[in-house]
Amino acid sequence: MRRRLMLLAPALAALWLTGCDSDKPAFRNTDVTGADFGKGFELTDHNGQRRTLADYRGKVVTIFFGYTHCPDVCPTTLSEMAEVMRLLGDKAERVQALFVTVDPERDTQELLASYVPAFDRRFVGLYGDPESTAKVAKEFKVFYQKVPGSAPGIYTVDHSAGSFAFDAKGRVRLFIKHGQGAEPLAQDLERLIDEG
């Protein structure tokens, strides 16, 4: 019996130490802290200025890849993020939501400037030429593919539906699954804000 207790002691100690950290709540979204992707981008915002991830250092940043002609996932994601900003109240000023288009052929600066801020005036639309769009999507491990429609110029774009969150130091921290509601994301972003 004593031998068994001695063998169990290290395991019990490990469980006890793990329990000491249990007052720190887990993220509701997928924690990808330390991931080796999403290190940055260089794109143009809907005001015509060149932007990089470093421009938003000091803020918690969310990034979603989509397109303005999207019939479902994109508007619901942006609407959900607008609700997150409302839930955060004054803390929302420390969050920057970015929308990166995967449809550079149709999503012009003017279209992004009218579409993206319509969900929340603080949201920023980003675009690039086809090559830079592909480069950024690859860096973030985002899939997108044009699906031809009934005529030239009429098409949809299949694309990844998740988003990413970065802490104020510019490190990727969360993968945000589409469609889970605003409250879990607001809680996670508030935690990242409080980390500083």
pLDDT in tens, 6-47: 444 444 344 444 444 445 568 999 999 999 999 999 999 999
Chain centroid, CA 49 distance in Å: 21
User: What distance separates the 2 farthest-apart alpha carbons in the chain?
Assistant: 79
Instruction: Tell me the mean pLDDT in the region 47-72.
Output: 97
- All structural domains of the chain, each given as residue ranges with its CATH number in brackets, are 30-195 (3.40.30.10)
pLDDT number for residue 18: 43
Would you place residue 70 in the very low, low, confident or very high pLDDT band (cuts 50, 70, 90)? Answer: very high
Indicate the SS3 state at residue 158. Answer: strand
pLDDT tens for residues 138-185?
A: 999 999 999 998 888 899 999 999 999 999 999 999 999 998 899 999
**Residue 20 assigned as binding residue:** no
**Residue 74 assigned as binding residue:** yes
**Residue 69 assigned as binding residue:** no
What is the DSSP-derived secondary structure letter of residue 40?
-
pLDDT number for residue 152: 81
Give rounded-to-5 percent helix, strand, coil for the chain: 40, 25, 35
Burial of 14 by CB count in 10 Å (0-12 exposed, 13-18 middle, 19+ buried)? exposed
Residue with tokens 């060149």: 50
**pTM, two decimal places:** 0.86
What is the DSSP-derived secondary structure letter of residue 68?
T
pLDDT number for residue 151: 87
Rounded-to-integer distance, Cα 39 and Cα 37, Å: 5
